[in-house]
Amino acid sequence: MAEPTVSPEQAALWRRWCEAAATAGEPMAAEPDALTLAAYAEDRLSAGGVESVEDWLALNPQVAGDILAARQAEALASAAAPEAVIARAAALVGGGSAQILPFRGQAARPSWRNAIAWGAMAASILVASLVGFAMGNSTYVTLIDGSSVSLSQELLDPPTGLFNADEDSAI
Amino acid sequence: MAQEIDLQALSRGEKSAWDAFVRRYAGLVVAAVRGVAQEGGDVEDLVQEVFLRLCKDDFRLLKTYDPSRAGISTWLTIVARSTARDALRRRRLAQTPIDAVPEALLATDATPPEKLKLPEGLLSPRQKLVLSMIYDRDMEVAEIATALGVDPQTVRSTHHKAMLKLRSHFSTEEQ
């Protein structure tokens, strides 16, 4: 039989069929996974499996090249790759699993140390209160003393310097 | 070939198994990807995408491989080529501004097309595939024969019978 010539008439027939199939809403074959396509390339599928894959391949002819390449895969299996490519791909998986370090546990403290810590805290609060009371009391006594009157007057007196009107007029 | 690689250790994520796997099959992946990336794609990046796809999500894809169904070289070739093709398609889409897409392609047709009738099983899946390889992919008969695992004479015969059916169907339809 002669080589099939791609005549315009035959190509037009195929186009017409494709358009008719598309508008007729022909059920689409399910996309086979890579393993099914590989099994097809190795002639390991049943007759039904072959039909299903070929039905899908007819609508996805760009994948036909994959089948052709897969049939020749064994010949390419020993091909060498550039070291840079190997190193880059190998680096995708890190070495070893990450080591998780636990937090350092709190060392158990003896109860007497706890008692001292709490006692020291209470004593410091007490001392601070006493000092605060003593200082407040001292200030109060100073204010109600006689000398505090002159101090308060001094505080309420008009300011000197630029704000002193008498001095300004004298100038 | 698969015996050289400890697939179980590989799917457990053992670094030494992964390194051995990469060293063993990188050449095959490069060759497979090169077949797809002939139009100027960056082969090294595509190879990296293939290995990334194999190990990502805790080796999800690699774990689907079943040595009883197909050889690992065959399976890897299919995986490598489809990954590379998808990556190239994504890149092309990312580089195409929306303004560059003709409006006709973006428009949707509100009226559903009139449904034509095709006789059930007018063409067998094999006949459809052969015609699709010849007319859509411009593949040679020898290539198709290799892809289908048949001899070239069978391809010619399949093509001839399919054409007779189409001619007969459409000539009847026109009358």
Per-residue pLDDT tens digits for B92-138: 766 666 666 666 655 655 555 555 566 777 888 899 889 988 888 77
Is A58 in the B-facing interface, judged by CB distances under 8 Å? yes
Q: How many angstroms separate the CA of residue B119 from the nearest CA in chain A?
A: 10
Residue A167 scores a pLDDT above 80: no
Restricting to A residues 77-136, those with a Cβ less than 8 Å away from any Cβ of B are: 77-82, 84-86, 88-90, 92-96
pLDDT for the residue numbered B113: 52
A69 and B35: CB-CB below 8 Å? Answer: yes
Residue of chain B whose alpha carbon sits nearest to that of A14: B131
At B2-52, the pLDDT tens digits run 446 788 888 888 899 999 999 999 999 999 998 888 655 588 999 999 999
Q: Given CB atoms, is A2 within the 8 Å cutoff of chain B?
A: yes
Q: What number is the average pLDDT over the span B136-152?
A: 86
DSSP string, chain A: -PPPP--HHHHHHHHHHHHHHHHTTPPPPPPPPHHHHHHHHTT-S-HHHHHHHHHHHHH-GGGHHHHHHHHTHHHHTT----HHHHHHHHTTS-SSPPPPPPPPPPPPPPHHHHHHHHHHHHHHHHHHHHHHHHHHHHHHHHHHSTHHHHHHHHHHSPP-GGG-HHHHHH-
Contact A17 B64 (CB under 8 A): no
In this predicted model, what pLDDT tens digit does every residue of A59-113 receive, in sequence order? 888 888 899 999 988 887 778 889 999 999 999 988 654 444 555 555 667 788 8
Q: What would the mean pLDDT of B142-149 be, rounded to a whole number?
A: 87
Asked if A61 reaches chain B (Cβ–Cβ under 8 Å), the answer is yes
With beta carbons under 8 A apart, name residues in chain B contacting A89. Answer: 22, 26, 47-48, 51
Look at residue B72 in the predicted model and tell me its pLDDT: 93
Chain B residue nearest residue A26, CA to CA: B118
